[in-house]
Amino acid sequence: MGFDTKDKATAQQPPYPLHNDPPRFRKISRYIGSLSLALIAASVAYYFCPGRLLAHPAVASEHTAQGQHLRGGDPVCPQADALVPGVNHDVWLTLGEALSTQGFQDHAVYAISGAVQIKGESFIDMGPVGNDSRWEVHAAMHEYLVRAFPLINKFLKREIVNTYGLLYTWGGSDPSLKPLLMLAHMDTVPVDEDTLREWTHPPWSGDFDGTYIWGRGSADDKSGMIGTMLAIEMLIGRGFFPTRTVILAFGFDEEIGGVQGAGHISPVLQQRYGPNSFAAILDEGGSFGEEYGSIFASPGVAEKGSMNVRMEITGAGGHSSVPPAHTSIGKLAAAIVKLEDSPFEAHLLRESVIYRRLLCLAQYGADMDPMLRQKIKDSMTSDQSLLELEGILFSAAPVVKTLVSTTQSVNIVQGGFAQNALPERASAIVNHRIDSLSSSAAVKARDASTLEEIARRFNLNYHPFGTANYHSAAFTGNFSLVATTLLEPSPISPTEGVGAGAYHVLSGSIVAAYNAYNWTNSGRSKEVDTIFVTPALPSGNTDTRFYWDLSSNIFRYNHDNFGSPEHPLGGGVHSVNERLHVRVFLEMVRFYFTYILNMQEYHEA
């Protein structure tokens, strides 16, 4: 049964998951300080300079800058105020009180544990829905959600898209307000059977040891799906109904690209609502944690693009006893070496996301080394200092280069069919992650130019991306480049100036949710602003790739605390011992209902 937040003392026992045995509960009673590792863990971020919240009735208090100002008396990276609901303030307080009860904790653990127990692995070789029986596992999740969230299934319109995608509509009373779209996915990456003995608790157990909920999907992304639904179930139980429509869209193949799930849900929403019809979109993504002695939250406001390029060289076959100087495989090997010896240039540019994040870290990182802070300050106006800063970062952690440029990685090589036959065909797949300030056209032009030397060296007819760049009269074969998959870098959601109101609501909600936890657990009588928000650029892609046309305000943020002592090493995401700290999960729920309530009172400019 659903938890009624009107009764804050106790919570009604929810139903067990759809399994023969109840979940096993045993009564056994993360950010990284270095710059390079922090950039990897939290990903990269954009400069944040918001201004005041647009037409929001409740702004709690001015967020004071900590750390040293980099430019005169004005902070380089201004911060949002803690934002608590105004009209719905009493609802927010009541939900916060309910969240701290043992009854709700038990309820929340049951909900996420039951979802973890339902297998929903996505495999890269899965065929379309209806042609591959492996999709059928998601039917059990549908049944579970109906039982676990009775209020949602009573008061929200539920639709099924492409058999296993879920679309919930919580109709608002004011149709003039653009809806809020909240995304999550029910599928997980597979569990390697060879690692089963390495798991502290079985990957599909949903075990709770008093601290962690264990199992595949507990952190990615069943916590996002179940956390959102718990927040809405709490709101309904308190008697709240929205003025702004809230829509939930849950895909089931995000881990392998989202084509069957979000790829089918998005057209439904586009046909129903039209382009740019949503006030904001929220999906999984950034977290918060400590860097340089301060707490930073990193919601993603953009994503890199990606492109797989198939390099293929063909030539005459024959018996291996009379080989040419270079076979097709040898020529392909030369092409691979040429590509790897010619990486994309990496520079720390002032307009880059890395640099703008550095400004925020230097502004608010209480324990940053004074020399590094000064170097960042000097780089704002000195090109020489900027080059020196680049050298410091790249030398300390070469991986930072991958975060400020387009990358390339040769991941699949194929060629040959017999040990005594010359290969007539050889190919390789190169995966590019396209920098947010670049484009697929720039990557294609660079690949074509770089590899033309190989075509000339071996007298190959050269056809990069459908063009005829080089033709040899004495050709020995053909060399082609084909983009097999392509995703442009995403649009960048506004974080300052006109159009940034939705980002201000998100930032203020993060601060308010974080502070509310501190009040509850420290006994403080008034708020203290101890978290700073910096827009981020996640290293991977989410289901938001299918929703770009629906809103200019797309954010990727979970409000989890990966990298903290409570949630070390990313909680085992995509690895052995994936787990979720119960306190982290409860704070995710707090953020979700805070954000939903604040978005009800936000009015677009």
Task: Tell me what pLDDT residue 19 has.
Answer: 34
Amino acid at 224: G
Chain-centroid distance of CA 481 in Å reads 30
pLDDT tier at 203 (50, 70, 90 boundaries)? very high
Burial group, residue 131, by CB count within 10 angstroms (0-12, 13-18, 19+): exposed
Q: How far apart are CA 536 and CA 71, in angstroms?
A: 22
One domain for residues 314 and 267? no
DSSP per position, 353-393: HHHHHHHHHHHH-TT--HHHHHHHHHHTT-HHHHHHHHHHH
Q: Which of 72-81, 215-224, 481-490 has the lowest mean pLDDT?
A: 72-81
Identify whether the C-beta of residue 288 lies closer than 8 Å to the C-beta of residue 531.
yes
Asked if the model's pLDDT at residue 28 lies above 80, the reply is: no
Helix/strand/coil (H/E/C) assignment for every residue in 113-152: HHHHCCCCECCCCCCCCCCCHHHHHHHHHHHHHHHHCHHH
Q: In the predicted model, is pLDDT for residue 321 greater than 80? A: yes
Per-residue pLDDT at 56: 37
In a domain, 395, yes or no: no
Residues 161 and 297 occupy one common structural domain: yes
Question: Tokens in use for 566?
Answer: 């409570």
Tell me: is residue 107 an annotated ligand-binding position: no
Q: Which residue has the higher pLDDT, 506 or 79?
A: 506
> What pLDDT band is residue 605 in, cutting at 50, 70 and 90?
low
Q: Encode pLDDT of 229-287 as tens digits.
A: 999 999 999 999 999 999 999 999 999 999 999 999 999 999 999 999 999 999 999 89
Residues 137 and 192 both lie in one domain: yes
Place of tokens 């798991």: 199
Q: Is 447 annotated as a binding residue?
A: no
CA dihedral 400, 401, 402, 405 (to 10 degrees): 130
Where on the phi/psi map is residue 499: left (φ > 0), alpha (ψ -120 to 50), or beta? Answer: left
- Co-location of 98 and 116 in the same domain: yes
453 is catalytic: no
The yes-or-no verdict on residue 561 having pLDDT over 50 is yes
Compute the average pLDDT of residues 58-63. 34
Express each pLDDT in 425-473 by its tens digit.
999 999 999 999 899 999 999 999 999 999 999 999 999 999 988 887 7
pLDDT of residue 63: 38
Residue range 127-152, pLDDT digits in tens: 999 999 999 999 999 999 999 999 99
Whether residue 480 lies inside any domain: the answer is: yes
Q: Please identify, among 440, 461, 487, the residue that sits at the C-terminal boundary of a domain.
A: 487
Of 20-29, 135-144, 192-201, 538-547, give the lowest mean pLDDT range. 20-29
Q: Which of 487, 514, 546 is the last residue of a domain?
A: 487
Whether residue 447 is found in the same domain as residue 322: yes
Confidence category of residue 568, pLDDT binned at 50, 70, 90? low
pLDDT bin (cut points 50, 70, 90) of residue 93 is very high
> How far, CA to CA in Å, does 381 sit from each of 34, 347, 404, 594?
25, 16, 20, 40
Q: What is the pTM of this model?
A: 0.85
Q: Is the peptide bond before 7 cis (omega within 30 degrees of 0)?
A: no
State yes or no: 312 annotated in a binding site.
no
The per-residue pLDDT for 560 is 86
- Report, as an integer, the average pLDDT of 97-116: 97
Q: In this predicted structure, what is the pLDDT of residue 171? A: 98
The lowest-confidence range among 322-336, 555-569, 586-600 is 555-569
4 marked ligand binding residue:
no
Interacting residues of 8 by C-beta distance below 8 A, sequence separation 6+: 94, 97, 98, 101
Tell me which of 106, 254, 291, 529 is the catalytic residue: 254
288, part of any domain: yes
- Domains in the chain, number: 2
Which residues, other chains included, contact 459 with Cβ-Cβ below 8 Å and sequence gap of 6+?
A: 472, 474, 475, 476
Domain of residue 460, residue span? 305-345+405-487
Determine the 3-state secondary structure of 170 from DSSP.
strand
Q: Identify the residue whose tokens are 């100036």.
A: 497
Average pLDDT estimate for 21-38? 33
Q: For residue 565, what pLDDT is reported?
A: 56
pLDDT at position 468, please?
Answer: 84
The reply to whether 459 falls in a domain is yes
Stronger pLDDT, 248 or 526, i.e. the higher one? 248
The one catalytic residue among 81, 121, 187, 233: 187
Percentage with pLDDT > 90 across the chain = 71
Residue type at 222 in one-letter notation: K
282 shares its domain with 321 = no
Helix 440-457 to helix 328-340 angle, to the nearest 10 degrees?
Answer: 130
User: Which of these, 231, 232, 246, 310, lies nearest to 279 by C-alpha position?
Assistant: 246
The answer as to whether 6 is a domain residue is no
For residue 373, being part of any structural domain is answered with no
> Would you state the pLDDT for residue 372?
92
Together in a domain, 446 and 556: no
For residues 155 and 169, what is the distance between their CA atoms, to the nearest angstrom? 9
* CATH number, domain with residue 325: 3.30.70.360
Q: Is 433 found in the same domain as 328?
A: yes
112 close to 213: Cβ distance less than 8 angstroms? yes
Report the amino acid identity of residue 410. Answer: V
Asked whether the predicted pLDDT for residue 53 surpasses 80, the reply is no
Whole-angstrom distance, CA of residue 480 vs CA of residue 501: 47
Q: Does residue 171 form part of some domain?
A: yes
Q: Is 603 assigned a ligand-binding role in the annotation?
A: no
pLDDT band at 23 (very low <50, low <70, confident <90, very high): very low
10 located within any domain = no
The per-residue pLDDT of the chain, averaged, comes to: 85
pLDDT of residue 308: 97
Q: Are residues 126 and 212 in the same domain?
A: yes
Same-domain status, 329 and 282: no
Question: Which among 172, 177, 157, 153 is positioned nearest to 240, based on CA atoms?
Answer: 172
Tell which residue, 140, 412, 362, 329, has the closest CA to residue 252.
Answer: 140
| Domain match, 466 and 566 both | no
Residue 10's pLDDT is 32
Residue with tokens 């991977």: 540
254 a catalytic residue: yes
In contact, 179 and 277? CB cutoff 8 Å = yes
Tokens, residue 77:
């990276």
What pLDDT, in 10s, does the model give residues 381-436? 999 999 999 999 999 878 788 888 999 999 999 999 999 999 999 999 999 999 99
Residue 519 pairs in a beta bridge with: none
Residue 497 has pLDDT above 90, yes or no: no
What's phi and psi for 399, nearest 5 deg? -65, -25
Final residue of a structural domain among 467, 487, 507: 487
Distant-in-sequence, close-in-space partners of 322: CB < 8 Å, separation ≥ 6: none
| Alpha-carbon span 502 to 599, nearest angstrom | 8
Q: How far apart are CA 111 and CA 525, in angstroms?
A: 32
Q: Is the pLDDT of residue 331 over 50?
A: yes
Q: What are the structure tokens assigned to 210, written together? A: 């008093």
Q: Are residues 466 and 514 in the same domain?
A: no
Dmax (CA) for the chain in angstroms is: 86
**CATH number of domain containing 297:** 3.40.630.10
User: Which pLDDT belongs to residue 69?
Assistant: 58
